[in-house]
């Protein structure tokens, strides 16, 4: 890799895409800053891929703009040396070896031949370099996709679900790679529909749901603005939920209680001791009780209802995030 590639911001303003009646992306605005890893998060179908495709000039916006360093992708002087992207890591010829694949793309991009061996080593593919990609695991395809994206030593990286198919060891490896690339000054945008997959990797987040912005800014700030929660399991979950919402004169009531898919109750607005006392007072059994803000819960809330308690104006956080840039 070259010394210090200066990153370029990705700026999305009022971006909108409709496919017929489907509103894939709706008036979306955010900025991705260089030098950090930004998670682009949202549930399946939220519009992440469509947004990335618009940033890369592969899909024409219905309205709005997407620029890289102030220029649309199509207006960049050497796009493949400025932006590297992996939208579909499975899109490799099954009969080509990893080395063949990289040589084809590096020739097309006009990049120096020595990049291929260097990237095969950096991406941990040197031993598999001459195997046909049809024998590759999903994780190896992800690595090859990343190597392809890095051929032009790009200042900006856009990766669509790079954690897909990676085991925990692969995720740890990805974390090291992406954080290293960001530390070199690059702009790194990584999409995921699973926060737990990227929570150890990202500094900033942009969360969207149904094509619209839910929250954006440094992850630490979003966590700080998110009140704590208590997780509790009970064979009497329905009765406990009712009791928590009703509360007691002494201990107060929960602001909200969500039943999670695994049957756990997620309680907002009450301390763990208050939840335990209330369960005891109502003679309801509890099997597990833990306090704290899990990022997964936060993500479920952000993605689930658009504006979590304590984050009344997600745009304020967005503005705050932008002002720091
Ligand atoms: N070419 C297309 N034609 C019609 N609808 C489309 C097209 N591409 C995307 N959509 C729709 O736009 C919406 C957003 O899709 P998109 O793939 O951008 O979401 P996503 O957040 O990337 O989801 P996933 O994590 O499942 O890939 C979905 O409702 C999808 O069905």
Residue 19 beta carbon below 6 angstroms from any ligand 1 atom: yes
Q: Is residue 302 in a domain?
A: no
Mean pLDDT of 81-102: 86
Domain boundary among 219, 241, 274: 219
| Residue bearing the CA closest to ligand 1, atom 31 | 45
Q: Mutation test of ligand 1: which of 26, 40, 50 has the most ligand atoms closer than 8 Å to its C-beta? A: 50
Mean pLDDT of 292-312: 50
The three-point CA angle 8-13-17 to 5° equals 115
| Residue bearing the CA closest to ligand 1, atom 11 | 24
Mean pLDDT of 15-34: 96
Model pLDDT, residue 37: 96
Residues 89 and 191 in one domain: yes
Of 309, 223, 229, nearest to 268 (Cα)? 229
Give the chain's domain count: 2
CATH of the domain at 117: 3.40.50.300
Residues 277 and 172 in one domain: no
Residue 45 beta carbon below 6 angstroms from any ligand 1 atom: yes
Lateral strand order in the sheet of 256-259:
256-259, 265-268, 229-233, 288-292
| Residue bearing the CA closest to ligand 1, atom 10 | 24
Residues 97 and 151 in one domain: yes
126-150 pLDDT, tens digit each: 888 888 888 888 888 889 999 999 9
Q: Is residue 5 in a domain?
A: no
Residues 241 and 212 in one domain: no
The structure tokens 């998670």 sit at: 39
Model pLDDT, residue 38: 96
Distance CA(168)–CA(194), nearest Å, equals 13
Of 116, 59, 126, 117, nearest to 87 (Cα)? 59
Residue 163 beta carbon below 6 angstroms from any ligand 1 atom: no
| Residue bearing the CA closest to ligand 1, atom 2 | 19
Contact between 147 and 98 under an 8 Å Cβ cutoff? The reply is: yes
How many helices, marked H, and strands, marked E, lie in the chain? 12, 13
Residue 88 beta carbon below 6 angstroms from any ligand 1 atom: no
Task: Provide the domain limits for residue 281.
Answer: 228-292
Q: Mutation test of ligand 1: which of 49, 51, 56, 158 has the most ligand atoms closer than 8 Å to its C-beta? A: 49
Q: Is residue 256 in a domain?
A: yes
Distance CA(204)–CA(198), nearest Å, equals 11
Phi, psi of 38 (to 5 degrees): -110, 130
32-63 pLDDT, tens digit each: 999 999 999 988 889 999 999 999 999 999 99
Model pLDDT, residue 233: 92
| Residue bearing the CA closest to ligand 1, atom 14 | 47
SS3 state of residue 239: helix
Residue 46 beta carbon below 6 angstroms from any ligand 1 atom: yes
Model pLDDT, residue 318: 37
- The helix (H) or strand (E) run that includes residue 171 is helix 168-183
- The helix (H) or strand (E) run that includes residue 268 is strand 265-268
Q: Is the ipTM of this complex over 0.85?
A: yes
Mean pLDDT of 202-218: 90
Distance CA(28)–CA(103), nearest Å, equals 37
155-188 pLDDT, tens digit each: 999 999 998 878 888 888 899 999 999 999 999 9
Question: In the chain, what percentage of residues exceed pLDDT 70?
Answer: 85
Residues 193 and 270 in one domain: no
Q: Is residue 187 in a domain?
A: yes
Distance CA(37)–CA(206), nearest Å, equals 11
227-241 pLDDT, tens digit each: 668 889 999 999 999
Residues 186 and 252 in one domain: no
Contact between 279 and 241 under an 8 Å Cβ cutoff? The reply is: no
- According to DSSP, residue 322 is labeled H
Residues 122 and 192 in one domain: yes
End-to-end CA distance of the chain: 25
């Amino acid at each position: 890799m070259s010394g210090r590639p200066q990153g370029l911001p990705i700026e999305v303003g009022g971006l909108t895409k409709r496919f017929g009646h489907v509103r894939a992306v709706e008036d979306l605005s955010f900025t991705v800053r260089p030098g950090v890893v930004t998670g682009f998060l949202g549930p399946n179908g939220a519009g992440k891929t469509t947004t990335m495709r618009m940033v890369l000039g592969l899909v024409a916006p219905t309205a709005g703009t997407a620029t890289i360093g102030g220029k649309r992708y199509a207006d960049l002087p050497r796009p493949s040396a400025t932006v590297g992207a992996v939208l579909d890591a499975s899109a490799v010829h099954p009969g080509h070896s990893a080395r063949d694949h990289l040589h084809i793309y590096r020739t097309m991009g006009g990049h120096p031949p020595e990049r291929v061996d260097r990237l095969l080593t950096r991406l941990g593919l040197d031993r598999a370099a001459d195997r046909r990609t049809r024998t590759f695991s999903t994780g190896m395809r992800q690595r090859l996709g990343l190597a392809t994206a890095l051929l032009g030593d790009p200042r900006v990286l856009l990766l669509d679900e790079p954690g897909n198919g990676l085991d925990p060891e692969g995720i740890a490896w990805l974390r090291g790679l992406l954080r290293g690339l960001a530390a070199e000054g690059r702009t790194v945008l990584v999409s995921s529909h699973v926060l737990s997959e990227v929570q150890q990797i990202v500094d900033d987040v942009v969360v969207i749901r149904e094509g619209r912005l839910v929250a954006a800014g440094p992850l630490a700030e979003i966590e700080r603005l998110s009140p704590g929660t208590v997780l509790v399991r009970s064979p009497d979950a329905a009765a406990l939920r009712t009791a928590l919402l009703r509360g007691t004169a002494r201990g107060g009531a929960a602001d909200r209680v969500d039943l999670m898919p695994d049957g756990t109750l997620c309680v907002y607005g009450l301390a763990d001791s208050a939840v335990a006392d209330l369960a005891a007072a109502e003679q309801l059994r509890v099997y597990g009780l833990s306090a704290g803000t899990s990022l997964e819960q936060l993500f479920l809330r952000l993605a689930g209802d658009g504006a979590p308690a304590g984050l009344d104006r997600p745009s304020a956080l967005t503005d705050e995030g932008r002002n720091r840039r």
